Each structure stands twice: as structure tokens, then as C-alpha cells.
Structure 1
């Protein structure tokens, strides 16, 4: 058994690439033998405090280790066979909705194995030994993304343990004020957030997820959730860059343009926060104090009007106090606190958000630029 763990640990010896970070003051050393994987970590967690991550200037590794090794598939398969033979139990966990890990239990460690490749990931395994991790991947077009996603998972659970809950929202900072843009899928959150940044010099905070924690004065603080920004052709056209995007040097290859030109099509351009800054000149912002909420609703063709917005219901639907519907399970067992809040705590948090200024705004799909100006004026008025 020790020889198996020693052989896995030996793969991570002498890794040449290194980043030192801290998450809520807890130090981690990220090491890899793959330059693109390290670079993608820096692209996703570009601003300070994204997922609570702060970069440190230490040149020597310290704290818990997150080590990443890319090896050839034949070597990977040989290692996996040894793990299967040594395991005394096999379970299954769900790190993300509609995905899974096979979990192999060893006396001194747990090993998580993903046996499939999709549009954002690939075959890999993770050794968890007393809170130190070794991630082993094999070459594929999305291999470089796996390390960043794993770091994000650790940070997310630590933030949850610190009292944060997830909100399905975009967010920007307008003249120093943190603004949530809340709505269900297809409400135009991403396009509106980017329009505010492109045309009105707002700072971009996050695209689809924001972690919120209330401070000692019950003021909501927002922590960005590190993930790529997803844009279809309509968003690029609204931002007036539809003739430029094909020249951008992006990390994530586009899978297909099959539904790229459709509203709510699944095939989108994925751009990291750093690439957003580089290619569109949009400034990024980390942690914010939340001071207002915008609820956009797009008036589409053949629609005369929309029903009056139920602000409370919109927030209830998009505040994930207990469990995010995508990031469903604390599969690494990082959290020490209860995963479910009592009803009175949820209600108190919701009431605090409802006390903020709220703008419910309905507009045609071709008016994002004008609406961005209206929202900026609204924020400046209070």
C-alpha cells in the first residue's frame, strides 16, 4: 500500500512551476509540470479575492499542497489499475450536477477518478491525503482547465464554511458601488454587465455566480466566483466586437458554432477574466460591498408587455442559501459547518438584500447600451 502511495507522490516530486496563494488566510502551494494549467489558474483568479484567493510572493512552497502532474495515458491506466486493486471500497460522489467521480478508498487516502471527457474536462484522478492533493491528468484539449476548477472547489467550500452563500447573478462595480444583476437564465445578465463595463466604465466583478457574506453590520459583501465568461454572437454584437473576436488569442477552444448565433444557444465563446481585460479593455474588480440590485427583463419580439416583477420571488429563486444546484456536493469533505441554514437565518439574509435599492427594468433586446446609461444614472442618483 505504501509503495502505491509513494509511487503517486513520487510523480509530484520536483515540479518546476509554482504559485503561492492563501484562501481566507490559509496558505496553499500550487505546483504543476504544465505551464498552460498554471497560466489558466492565474487567468481565472485574475483579480485579488476571486473565490477568496490572494496571491502571495513566497518563492518557497508552504501550507497545504495542490500538486498537478500531466502524464501519458498508458502510464495513467497502469496507475489506475493498481489503485483499483489496492482499494478496499468503492463509492461515487457528485462534484457537479450531471457529473461524477468514482471514489476509491485506501487506508491512508482517498482517490477520486473521472473516467470521461467532456467539453470542459477530461480523464483524471485526485489523491487526497490528509488535505494535501495530487491531481493527475492525461493530455486532451481541456486538460489545462482541471487544476483551476479543483482550486476553485477548495476555495468555494472554505468560503461556504466561513458563512458565504451562492447567488445566481452577474455583478459590476459602478463608481465604487457594487451592483447585482439578478435574473433567471436568458434575462440578459451577462450582456448587461458587459455593456455597463464597455460603454460606462463600470468594473466587471463576476458573470454567473457571486458569493455573499454579511459583515458584522449586516452589510452584504460580494466575493467573485472564478469562471469563464460565456458569450454568444448577440452579446459580441451588442459590445460592437463581432468583427474582432476571431482574432483574439483565447485559452478555451470553441467547441462548435452550431448554436452560436441563436438566443440561449449552448455553443458560446468562453473567455477568462484576464482575457476580458486584455481583449476588451474592461477593468476587473474583486471583493465588493453590495449596494444595489438590478433585475433586467428583455422584451422580445411579439411581446407587448411583461408581468410586474416579483422582486422577492426573483431573489428567492436565485439565492442558493443551502446548496448550489450546479456545485451540489462538498465531495472533499472540507466544510465543518452545517450545509443547511435555518429558516429564520435565510429570511433575515433575504430581508437585508430587499432593503437595498432595486431597479426592475424592461427593455427591447437592441437597447442594452442605452439601458446601461440609464442604470449608471440611477446608481449615481443615490
Structure 2
């Protein structure tokens, strides 16, 4: 593969979408339906993570081109560039460094998921990002991952406070579900979204909060919903065998069918709507915070959370304090003079005026009880 051809050509049969991403216009081209479908199903519905179809008119700031090739050709491209380019490394995600090679034509970044050995390449040239990756399910995900990475950086540059949180909506307001890894954030958020009337699901694992006058607006980052069979059991979901998922089911021998299994089922935003039958809400004004616990061995509990408890949990789950998500801005897209996010202290002072709740559930009956108790608690607040 000629480097110059890759960085100037569009794959035969490619379709191009123009996306408005946090106010930045991107052109995205791929000829692989699997990659295009995953991109559409991730940034769903329109406005998810501030990603929408862009109107005709403004010239795209950046063009992203997706080339799917046999793994041997991808490996040969990396080998040939490494033989002549100037080698260094870069931080793809926090504390995960990979090789990069600077050449006269541009820079090649080696892409490799932290959990896989399969390699892809990204070529950065003026006004363009070219992905060259294998024709595999993992390869199809790079296009979505790059668009999401760009959107995350645009959001952070605009001053978003980023929290390790799931969220659901009720009666038009967003309720953050915040806890340490394994607390049951995703299970609690999706379960309440399914059970409450006038409810919806926002997102899994990461939420962005932006100050709007005296309020905050919560915006979902569309990471896949990652759940194990224990979470489905708590929600009373048993008909998953017939689901068709972009990521497929965990391989035979994995532990996803254990309550605390590390291997998890991964669902795109549209798949969550389709199979768990819950409306998806991309953004909503912040209305409250719930600190969950999912533990089959613990008794049911529900009540108010103290501000001290909120401060303790939030300090460990605020990505904006010590950004453990994003590495360096290796794509160079956010520019200078980013807006600082609200401080954690200011955010705590603001949410002290909202319902702060705690819960502990262990089975489907507990979740049903939680939905009723939650509804009464937030209704009483009004």
C-alpha cells in the first residue's frame, strides 16, 4: 500500500456522512456496512453526545476515512513505515503507550486495543485522518472509537465536568447513578429506566456535566452498555439468547454468566433500546444523584445520602480531577485555550440542593421496590 495513495484516496464504493460533533463539522467515509452501522447505532438517537447530521454548507474541518484491508497488508504497512519513519510513542489512552512514526507524508499511529493483539494504523495528515485496519469485528469498531474520542476531546475543551457515572431520566430530569467500579451503576440505571414511567436511559460509565446558569445539563457519552448475566437476572431479563449484537456474545468459557463476571455483554445505544425496550435520552437537565449498591447478599435499603458520602464517592469518580481516561491529544484537534470545568467543590455545593439518594438491591423484587421508593422520594421533593 502506497502511503500517499492511502492519505488521498477514498475507498471504492464508500459513502460519506457529514457530522456536526460539538459544533465541529466532520466528514466520515467508509465502504464497510458493518462499520457504518455500528457508527449509526452508537450515536443514536440524533444528538447523542452532541453528534448530529451536519447541514450542507460549512466545509468539514476534518475528514475521517476508513480503509478495511487484510491483516497482512496492515502489518506490512506498519513495517514499511517503521523502517523509514522517525519512531517515538504516544498515549492512546491514559498510561497506555503505543508506537508512532513521523514521515514526510504524515504521522502513522499504531492502534491496538489494550485487550487484544490485533493491530491497525491511523495516518494523520493535514485535515485528514485515515484509518487502515483489519476486516474484523474489532477492526470495524475503530471508526466509532475515533469519532467518540474526538467528541470527548471537544466536550472537555468546552468545559465539561466528566464523571464516572451511568444515568437515567425520570419526568424530564437526569439522575446520575454514581459509584465505584462494581457498585452496580449500569444495572441500577437501566433497571430504573425500564420500570419507571416517563423514564429513559442516558448512558453507561461516563457522563458530561455542563453548567447552564444555575443548573447543570447532563450529556451521555455513548460507550457500550457492558453487563453480565447477573445484571440481566436482577432486571428479570431472560430472553437474551435471540439477540443479534454488533459485539456478539462473550466467547465460550468466559465468566459473563457469573454475577460479578469480568467478561460482559456489550450493547450499542440502539441495541439497548431494541432489546431492553427503553427510550434513549441523549441529554437532560440534572435533577438528582443516586449512589447504588447491587449485592445479592445484602438486604434491601433506600434513603437519603449525606453530602459527606456524596463528596467521598464523587472524589474517586470524577475524571476531570485526574483525567484517567484520555491520554495526550495525539490527534491535535482541540486547539489552545480550553475552558476549565466546574470544580468538584462547586459541583458538590450545587447538587446539595438536589435529591441525593442511596440504594442497595440484590434481586428483581428489590429493583421493583426501589422504583416505587424512588418515585415517591423525588415526587415529595417537588
Q: Same fold (TM over 0.5)?
A: yes
SS of the residue aligned with 1:19? strand
1:37 aligned residue (35, 38, 43)? 35
Structure 2 partner of 1:128: 124
Deviation at 1:214, TM superposition (A): 0.9
> Using the alignment, how far apart are the partners of 2:113 and 2:202 within structure 1?
32
Are 1:114 and 2:115 counterparts?
A: no
Structure 2 partner of 1:50: 48
Structure 2 partner of 1:373: 372
Deviation at 1:86, TM superposition (A): 3.2
Q: For residues 182 and 237 of structure 1, do their structure 2 counterparts lie closer, same or farther at Cα, with a shift above 3 Å needed?
A: same
Are 1:241 and 2:240 counterparts?
A: no
| Preserved contact between residue 66 and residue 143 of structure 2 (Cα < 8 Å) | yes
Instruction: Give structure 2 stretches of 5+ with no counterpart.
Output: none
Deviation at 1:79, TM superposition (A): 2.4
Poorly superposed stretches of 4+, deviation over 6 Å: 302-309
Q: Normalized against structure 1, the TM-score is what?
A: 0.88
Structure 2 partner of 1:311: 310
Are 1:250 and 2:245 counterparts?
A: yes
SS of the residue aligned with 2:326? coil
The superposition leaves residues 294-323 of structure 1 with CA deviations (integer Å, 9 ceiling, x where unpaired) of 112345527799998712111221122244
> Using the alignment, how far apart are the partners of 2:40 and 2:301 within structure 1?
44
Are 1:151 and 2:150 counterparts?
A: no
> Using the alignment, how far apart are the partners of 2:338 and 2:324 within structure 1?
13
Bigger mean CA deviation after superposition, 157-166 or 9-18: 9-18
1:1-382 correspondence to structure 2 within 5 Å: 5-56=3-54, 62-87=60-85, 89-97=86-94, 99-114=96-111, 118=115, 122-201=118-197, 202-215=199-212, 217-242=213-238, 244-256=239-251, 258-298=254-294, 300-301=296-297, 310-337=309-336, 345-366=343-364, 367-381=366-380, 382=382
CA RMSD after TM alignment: 2.9
The superposition leaves residues 77-104 of structure 1 with CA deviations (integer Å, 9 ceiling, x where unpaired) of 33223322331x2111222246433111
Deviation at 1:145, TM superposition (A): 1.0
Deviation at 1:118, TM superposition (A): 3.7
Q: Normalized against structure 2, the TM-score is what?
A: 0.88
> Using the alignment, how far apart are the partners of 2:135 and 2:80 within structure 1?
20
| Preserved contact between residue 194 and residue 278 of structure 2 (Cα < 8 Å) | yes
> Using the alignment, how far apart are the partners of 1:236 and 1:115 within structure 2?
30
> Using the alignment, how far apart are the partners of 1:233 and 1:295 within structure 2?
22
Q: For residues 346 and 305 of structure 1, do their structure 2 counterparts lie closer, same or farther at Cα, with a shift above 3 Å needed?
A: closer
SS of the residue aligned with 1:95? strand
The superposition leaves residues 259-295 of structure 1 with CA deviations (integer Å, 9 ceiling, x where unpaired) of 1232321111111110111112210001111111111
> Using the alignment, how far apart are the partners of 1:299 and 1:114 within structure 2?
37
